Amino acid sequence: MSGLPASRSAPARTALTRRASPRVTALIVASALFMEQLDGTVLATALPTMARYFRVDPLHMNVALTSYLLSLAVFIPVSGKAADRFGARSVFRAAIGLFVAGSLLCAQSPSLAFLVGARILQGIGGAMMVPVGRLVLLRTVKKSELVTAMAWLMIPATIGPILGPPVGGFIVTYLDWRWIFYINVPIGLVGMVLVTLFIEELREPGRIRFDPVGLVLSAVALCCLMFGLELASRGVGSRSLAGGLVVIGAICAVLYRRHARHHPQPVLDFRLMRIPTFRLSVFAGTLSRIGVGALPFLLPMMLQLGFGVSAAQSGLITFSSSAGSLLMRLTAPAFLRRLGFRSVMVWIGLIATLLLASNAALRPSWPMVTIYALLLVGGFFQSLQFMAYNTIAYADVPRLKMSAATSFYTTFQQLSLTLGIAVSAATLAASEALMGHAQPMLSDFSVAFLMVAGVAMLAPAVSSRLKPSAGEELSGHHDPPEPPPGSRPQPTRG
């Protein structure tokens, strides 16, 4: 991964395309991530208003969210192959276009069924945008510039969830809910123009073989697993339905694993797990994301049910975690240069997990400034931890495998966040039943926080297996070399 494109379409660079700096490239890619993150958080705020317009039960509006997630699960695995076949710039630009088209259709939806179809189209665009956008960055940025570029990439993506709730509240209060989708149009159009002007067309040489059997098996496995976990976590539908979906998903996952061993270019290539840095990032990142994925689910509910605050107040409190994450983006390169990837993943990961566990001790009697400070610091360390995971994963991936690696990593990233919600919800329900509570109490939330923190605590242990020198070219951190065995001073006698 030298930062130089392996193959360029002819002509290599058109007269309109200009060479962008790593920072500019990162910000262009980040505009797509910002649009997607903003869309999701704004939509969640507007669902009750949309339910009244469509004259359906508000609980049924959950399908507008799950249909998007299912579309992601199906198409994320094929995003890398599409980029190799048709060119990363072309696929990235088309993905933004699909997302914008889906947004326009969502805004014009006359019924919930039409909205679901439009959200599926949005999901296809979103599934291509995130991994292919990351692939564009990986193929155009040198290793020594990757940490800084990743930090700039995540700043707009972090701002999206921060702005989402207040923007959504403003739109549904003072405008029409359709503007939730219309705001994606100018962002997407500007992004498409910038991609055309500044991003080069990069594609890998050689024949790209699609894997239709693998696509079907992986799609069924991921859809059933994610939808089953979603039903189980939210208590929607019967337990037998949720359990049946999870079982079907697991069976298809096993069948896909057997199929992938014999296909030269599988949709999800598990042979990437032979790369130590990639394998450690996937395992440790999955364990950590189970904990962090539970935080947006548990914390607002605990504040509203346990502390008795309003939804608006809980949103302002949880904002602190996002603010800490945003602050980290500006300082991550310095931390990684000073400490190195292994130290960040082990020691910063340990601190982040302990701060996550400390949410179990939150009580209404705590001073608000203490709660704000705890969430701010926790968001900072959690975000630094994930910056290390998301960067070291690609340190040793060969260029020809880069597109497969981005698809694989993004798929497991999405699955682990869903699993975090499922684990926390199941723990919360189990504690509530064992304690005989009619609704979740503070003690039940404490048990749930400690459970997901216990899972996340395994991540630093896994990360300790990383070599101290791993990712030195990316971070700029270099440990002092050990002296040769014969050069150490010998103790004097007598």
List pLDDT tens digits, range 324-347.
777 776 777 778 778 888 888 999
The half-sphere exposure of 123 on its side-chain side, counting CA atoms within 13 A, is 23
Asked, as a colleague might, if the bond just before 166 is cis with ω within 30 of 0, I would say: no
Q: Where are the alpha helices (DSSP H) in 393-477?
A: 402-435, 442-456, 458-463, 472-475
Assess contact for 197 and 225: CB atoms under 8 A.
no
Task: Give the pLDDT score at 8.
Answer: 43
| Cα–Cα distance for residue pair 161/42, rounded to 1 Å | 8
Structure tokens at 39: 């869309």
| Distance between CA atoms of residues 71 and 124, nearest Å | 6
402-444 pLDDT, tens digit each: 878 888 888 888 788 778 877 887 888 888 888 888 778 888 8
- Using pLDDT thresholds of 50, 70 and 90, give the confidence band for residue 360: very high
Q: What is the pLDDT of residue 127?
A: 84
pLDDT of residue 171: 76
User: Which amino acid appears at position 366 of this protein?
Assistant: W
**Residues near 125 by Cβ (< 8 Å), separated by ≥ 6?**
95, 96, 97, 98, 99, 100, 101, 102
Domains recognised in the chain with CATH numbers? 16-206 (1.20.1250.20), 211-264 (no CATH), 268-473 (1.20.1250.20)
Q: What is the DSSP letter of 202?
A: B
Contact between residue 212 and residue 81 where contact means Cβ atoms under 8 Å apart: no
How many angstroms separate the CA atoms of 377 and 383, rounded? 10
- Residue 113: count other Cβ atoms within 10 Å of its Cβ: 11
